[in-house]
Structure 1
Amino acid sequence: MAQLVEVTVGVIGRAHGVRGDVNVEPRTDEIERRFAAGSTMRTDQGESLTVADFRQPSGRLIVTFTEVADRTAAEKLRGRALVMKIAPDERPSGHDEYFDRQLVGLRVLGTDGRARGTISGVVHGPAQDLLVVDVDQDERMVPFVRALVPVVDVDAGSVQLADVPGLLDDEVAEA
């Protein structure tokens, strides 16, 4: 079996109520999958936690852990990251969705198939995600939308960009 990878799935916020529930700022799009009852995770400080239940009133994520009995215990966890170990080949449940760890390191190809750079990061913006592309040690941001990134082939280790002047260089199309 392949070595498991550790991913951050959330950050614990303030306590919610007196029974040990906590607000969690999610770091995953797959809340139902990661916070399902019985899921185990740990904090970045090493505490092991088991999800008893979660709910999402008004878009917030509130989680109950079996190990957290009261508000005092919940407050002690505030600010800690929640991490899980998952299989490195695990794929998101949605079609055309990718984990950041699957994208980082992919070669960026032009429409001619020529290597143009490497994805060095993903920025999650309010309107859309951005791919951070290292082009000869210069960072370029590319909106991660189908019109600009029509091909993503994780198995081949590459993405292909649309032919748009100035996307990865300082070229400006002449009018």
Structure 2
Amino acid sequence: METRLQVGIISSTHGIRGEVKVFPTTDDANRFKNLKKVYLNTGKEQIPCEVQHVKFFKQFVIVKFKGIDNINDIEMYKGSSLLVDREDAVPLEEDEYYIADMLGMEVYTEDGEKLGILKDVIETGANDVYVIASEKYGEVLVPAIKQCILDVDMEQGRMEIHLLDGLI
């Protein structure tokens, strides 16, 4: 289980005073209002950063980190992920899961046949779509709706689904 979860990706700098445009990868971008600490994931290291202030612009969150006051100090982090500690993550509602925890789950049909492994989750707006890598069928896209997702067992790392006609 991941100890840190991604909440956004730095897409570009914003102005010359060290602010960055962040594309939120969380369900609710307003969660940035309450963020105090994040980790800049460079791929080689995770640098702790204190959030000084946030504001919103179109689909982006503009973030200013304490101690970074110049465009030159932040420009190298374009494309980096912003992570939060799991205990600082937004609490989940019933039947909600962190995507990072779901990836790699074994997926079975309601008949007990192993379909494949959950490889990705596409967030479409209306409902998520689960991307399942199947040896038998290739890539299978399954909508994350109650008619299709019968059971998710996080402890066992297993999902049971009903395949609607036309999905394969």
| TM-score, with structure 2 as normaliser | 0.74
CA distance in 1, matches of 2:27, 2:85: 16
Contact 2:37 2:48 (C-alpha < 8 Å) held by counterparts: no
CA distances 1:44-98 after superposition (whole Å, capped 9, x unpaired):
16444221222224442111100211333343433333334537xx785333322
* CA distance in 2: counterparts of 1:163 and 1:23, whole angstroms: 39
2:122 maps to a residue whose letter is V
Equivalenced residues, count: 164
In structure 2, the gaps of 5 or more residues are none
Deviating more after overlay: 105-114 vs 18-27: 105-114
Question: Structure 1's 93 and 101: CA in aligned 2 closer, same or farther, altered over 3 A?
Answer: same
Larger Rg: 1
- Which residue is equivalent to 1:10? 8
Q: 1:85-104 alignment to 2 at 5 Å?
A: 85-86=85-86, 92-104=91-103
The ranges of structure 1 where at least 4 consecutive aligned residues each deviate by more than 6 angstroms after the TM superposition are none
Give the conservation status (yes or no) of the 8 Å contact 2:16–2:70: yes
TM-superposed deviation, 1:112: 3.0
Name the SS of the counterpart of 1:150 in structure 2: strand
Other-structure match for 2:23: 25
Question: Greater CA deviation, 142-151 or 26-35?
Answer: 26-35
TM-score if structure 1 supplies the norm length? 0.72
d(CA) in 2 for partners of 1:142 and 1:9? 24
Compute the displacement of 1:21 (Å): 1.8
Q: What RMSD, in angstroms, separates the aligned Cα atoms of the two structures? A: 3.0
Could you list the runs of 5+ residues in structure 1 that have no partner in the other structure?
170-175
1:75 is aligned to 2:78: no
Distance 1:163 1:8, change over 3 A: closer
For 1:66 and 1:25, how far apart are their aligned partners in 2?
19
Q: Distance in 2 between matches of 1:131 and 1:50?
A: 34
Q: Is the Cα contact below 8 Å between 1:12 and 1:24 reproduced in 2?
A: yes
Opposite residue 29 of structure 1, the aligned amino acid is: D
Checking the alignment, whether the CA contact within 8 Å between 2:106 and 2:118 is kept in structure 1 is yes
CA–CA separation in structure 2 for the residues paired with 1:154 and 1:15: 38
Q: Contact 1:92–1:98 at 8 Å: present in 2 too?
A: no
Q: Structure 1 vs Structure 2: percent identity of aligned residues?
A: 25
Q: 1:79 to 1:133 in 2, by over 3 A?
A: closer
Give the deviation of 1:34 after TM superposition: 6.1
Within the alignment, does 1:134 sit opposite 2:125 as a pair? no
1:33, distance to aligned residue in structure 2 (A): 4.6
| 2-structure distance, mates of 1:70, 1:166 | 53
AA of the residue aligned to 2:23: E
Distance 1:126 1:61, change over 3 A: same
- Residue in 1 that maps onto 2:165: 165
Structure-1 residue corresponding to 2:153 = 153
